[in-house]
Structure 1
């Protein structure tokens, strides 16, 4: 049994990761900004016989992250998934940039994962894994424009976590970046390529096999290395 913490667990891939980890017998700590707004997660917790608990955490807020981490007690974490994210505006913003939208993306998807990692660092040890949700849009190989807040946050996350991976390698803590695929969620839309169930199952397999030799690498959900 592994101890697993998941941010952004109220819906989409985060919710499905919580479900699948609980079903295979792991202890799941589901972190969500508004537990009262996550009825499916709450129902899952109530039917889990103690395998899953829900905790409030807004990854954009320092105090909320600290309080959410403290609520878990001193449990040692085996896997930490940094999933929480926002879509941001997709259209190009060469003038009239929506800076509030931009700032929200940076706070949640770039600074947020580092806040969460820092709060949980005392609970991470050798062979613990931090899986950060990035995107194909973060890669220089992405051949489209637009999505300025999102691409800035995710590209920054990739380089940030590569630095973190170097700094934590001597402690045996594994840091990974993953593109979850184009997934049929509220963010991805119903016309996306794969289901949350397929994405989550593949990412769990990827996390299970992630080694310290691969720390800091960027992979697709299906185990292929992502060009960057």
Structure 2
């Protein structure tokens, strides 16, 4: 049975990914900030993804793992590049959106190396706002953090290629979530179905790529 772990599984796209995994008959583990927010049927781990101690203990709580989706993230301050600059808020956005996915993936490598299906796969939820050809400046901390996430996950893909662990970035599109707002284009459940279809068929030929939620390749 495929074992899926989703960070930030208590709401939005993360919860939709957990729901879809359960609907497929997969074993699902969700990390959440508040107890009782993971979907029924999912194993719940209450933790902050920036907590080094919690991350260090994660592998012992998870066990063999097929699919890791680094989904937890924050939008951060709305400020543009000309300010006002809030260094603490800027750095917190990087801690959650860039460093936490890298740290969680590193911690769970022993679990991915013993994947029940024989091939561990890592997906990281990025954003169209990270695209280097998209020059808008609102929420500059978020844009920069997601662009940095793309680079560290690309580096992981390079480092893990010899082990056969595929790593990809996912642009989920504009979602109707607390972050995306009610005017957004896409329903989380629809996008979650597409992302887990990508995860199910992911192989090393696609590792290191930046993909749309439907699996088509996009530019960094």
Alignment of 1:68-79 (within 5 A): 68-72=58-62, 75-79=63-67
Root-mean-square deviation (Å): 1.3
| Structure 1 stretch displaced more, 182-191 or 119-128 | 119-128
SS in 2 for 1:163: helix
Native 8 Å contact 1:131 1:176 kept in 2? yes
Partner of 1:15: 15
Alignment match, 1:208: 200
Aligned residues of 1:184 and 1:195 also touching (Cα < 8 A): yes
**Matching residue of 1:112:** 100
The alignment partner of 2:28 has SS state of strand
Q: Secondary structure at the match of 1:193?
A: coil
TM-score when scaled to structure 2? 0.94
| Residue in structure 1 matching 2:74, options 63, 86, 103 | 86
The 2-side partners of 1:20 and 1:139 are apart by 27
Alpha-carbon distance between aligned partners in 2 of 1:142 and 1:205, rounded to the nearest angstrom: 27
Using the TM superposition, give the Cα deviation of residue 30 of structure 1 relative to its aligned residue in structure 2, in angstroms.
Answer: 0.7
Return the offset for 1:93. Answer: 4.3
Deviations 1:95-144 (A, max 9, x none): 43011211111101110011101111111125210000101111112142
Paired residues for 1:33-182 under 5 Å: 33-36=33-36, 38=37, 41=38, 44-45=39-40, 48=41, 52-72=42-62, 75-125=63-113, 127-182=119-174
TM-score w.r.t. structure 1 length? 0.90
Q: Is the 8 A contact 1:3 1:77 kept in 2?
A: yes
Tell me how far apart the structure 2 counterparts of residues 151 and 203 of structure 1 sit (CA, whole Å). Answer: 21
In structure 2, runs of 5+ residues without a counterpart are: none
**Equivalent-residue separation in structure 2 for 1:5 and 1:179 (angstroms):** 18
Gap regions ≥5 residues in structure 1: none
Paired positions, count: 216
Which of 204, 208, 224 is the matching residue for 2:216? 224
